[in-house]
Amino acid sequence: MDVSFHRMTAAQLAAGLKKKAFSAQELCRAAIERIEALDPQINAVVVRDFERAHTEARLADEALARGEQKALTGIPMTVKESFDLRGHATTWGFPVHSEHVAREDALAVQRLKAAGAVILGKTNVPPALGDWQSANPIYGRTNNPHDLTRSPGGSSGGSAAAIAMGFSALEMGSDIGGSIRVPAAFCGVYGHKSSHGLLPMGGHTAGGSRVAPQLLSVIGPLARSAQDLAIALDVVAGPDAESPASKVVLPLPRHGRLGSFRVFVLNHHPVARADGNILGALEALADHLTREGAAVARQSSLLPDLNVQWKTYQTILHTIISRGDPSVTRPPISAHDWLDALDMQLRIRRQWADFFRHFDIVLCPAFGTPAFPHTDEADWRKRPLDMDGEPGNFGSQLGWAGIATVANLPSTAIPLGLSKTGLPVAVQAIGPFLEDKTAIAFAGMVGHEIAPPALAM
């Protein structure tokens, strides 16, 4: 077994498979051995499908022997627990769904498998995918690989931890409130929140329920390189059969060199703060971009009103997540208020479309601090959050995530190394609607090689 497998990107593994430097079955065995040896400390891969993975790896080797190599042939992957994986429960962290058995794979999983991916299993989440931690009554708590006393983020916390530890080469998560970007930032890996409607949501519901499409939630990949994000995006992109269109052709990145980008640096928000670790990394990146010749701005009359965005995002998000929740005592908004919120969302989207005629990327925090310590406090209003030695507002950190989410925009979490205390620091690059490849390409040009946790060496 080559011990370097766990540090290689999916693209590097694909190149090695093509050259027959190793086999898909070797990769599969190495990944499973690594999970069995190291995951007890992390608890990331909570649903294991190893027997089927061995079979898929054998079939991948047979395809490779015939000269048939697709984008992900033989690449070991995991997916978030919230996706249907045939023969396993899709609980979203709720014990009531423990007996559910998915009859087929989620559509995104089907597309990954059709591209040759070897699915090892599923990774941990918080209940209802509603936290920046990943702990639930069924599978327990997932730890941050860089510091076991801290959160790996959520709700795709198991996803990011699995990538950071080298348990899998690629992962599929989901995001409505930073659920891809925050875990990627906390664990020091790449993560991409896709443009709304670009990737299919079929088979991404709790207990196999059938619900109307959500107006904010998306799925997207996490990986060890930006290049891998683009590969996964190409494999999965395209609406499901219930959408009016069945194919999509994504625009190529706007630029091929950093010096050509027009970048807006957003280091403030009306409700969300960021600490010195994050703002320092953001400013260092802005300085680097300037030296490379990029046009960097910090003020523009075209920037949509962030306070209006925050209020609109909160209205839509709370309506979505409180639906059917018996613990919510506040009455639901009226249908007219709901439609008013959707009208405002459309105005926000149009404002961003105008903004991106003059800029290519918005850089801002994904979360205002590095990974925070585990907490059992359920009430976000009471949760501690250290901001440079002062108490911060935990819930208001949704402000950073909501910028891209309410406007349906793509955003890529970019790892920028480690803080002085050894915790990953990161920012997010927000791009124009459906120009996911611009955000991903930019991330690849400025992002650092991911720093492997000591546990993962």
What tens digit of pLDDT does each residue of 46-93 get?
A: 999 999 999 999 999 999 999 999 999 999 999 999 999 999 999 999
Q: For position 380, what pLDDT does the model report?
A: 94
CA dihedral 174, 175, 176, 182 (to 10 degrees): 140
Is 218 in a helix, a strand, or coil?
A: strand
Q: For position 324, what pLDDT does the model report?
A: 67
Q: What is the CATH number of the domain that holds 342?
A: 3.90.1300.10
Percent of the chain past pLDDT 90, that is, above it, reads: 90
Residues 36 and 148 in one domain: yes
230, 250, 270 - which closes a domain: 250
Residues 285 and 431 in one domain: yes
In the chain, the amino acid numbered 160 is: A
Residues 33 and 175 in one domain: yes
CA separation for the pair 68, 304 (Å, rounded): 48
Residues 374 and 442 in one domain: yes
Number of domains in the chain: 2
How long, in residues, is the chain?
457
Q: Is the pLDDT of residue 245 over 80?
A: no
pLDDT category at 246 given cuts 50, 70, 90 is low
Q: What is the mean pLDDT of residues 35-43?
A: 98
Residues 339 and 441 in one domain: yes
Residues 241 and 263 in one domain: no
Structure pTM?
A: 0.97
193, 219, 250 - which closes a domain: 250
CA separation for the pair 214, 97 (Å, rounded): 21
Residues 323 and 305 in one domain: yes
Q: Is the pLDDT of residue 129 over 80?
A: yes
CA separation for the pair 168, 7 (Å, rounded): 10
Q: Is the pLDDT of residue 2 over 50?
A: no
Output the furthest CA–CA distance in the chain (Å, rounded): 61
pLDDT 10s digits, 334-348: 999 999 999 999 999
pLDDT 10s digits, 256-280: 999 999 999 999 999 999 999 999 9
Q: For position 248, what pLDDT does the model report?
A: 78
250, 283, 309 - which closes a domain: 250
Residues 238 and 308 in one domain: no
Q: For position 243, what pLDDT does the model report?
A: 66
CB 295 within 8 A of CB 262: yes
pLDDT category at 322 given cuts 50, 70, 90 is confident
Placement of tokens 């949704």 in the chain: 398
DSSP string, 336-400: HHHHHHHHHHHHHHHHHHHHTTT-SEEEE-SSSSSPPBP-----TTT---EETTEE--SGGGHHH
CB 220 within 8 A of CB 198: no
Q: For position 326, what pLDDT does the model report?
A: 63
Burial of 393 (0-12, 13-18, 19+ CB in 10 A): middle
Q: What is the mean pLDDT of residues 226-231?
A: 98
- What are the residue numbers of the active site? 80, 155, 179
CB 406 within 8 A of CB 175: no
pLDDT category at 323 given cuts 50, 70, 90 is confident
DSSP assignment letter at 281? H
Bond prior to 168 in cis (omega within 30° of 0): no
Residues 336 and 210 in one domain: no
Q: For position 241, what pLDDT does the model report?
A: 75
Q: Is the pLDDT of residue 1 over 50?
A: no
Residues 156 and 268 in one domain: no
CA separation for the pair 232, 253 (Å, rounded): 16
Residues 211 and 292 in one domain: no
Q: What is the mean pLDDT of residues 242-252?
A: 75
Q: Is the pLDDT of residue 292 over 90?
A: yes
For residue 301, the tally of other CB atoms under 10 A from its CB is: 5
Q: For position 449, what pLDDT does the model report?
A: 86
Domain of residue 301 covers: 258-455
Q: Is the pLDDT of residue 244 over 80?
A: no
Residues 244 and 269 in one domain: no
Q: For position 4, what pLDDT does the model report?
A: 87
Mean of the per-residue pLDDT values of the chain: 95
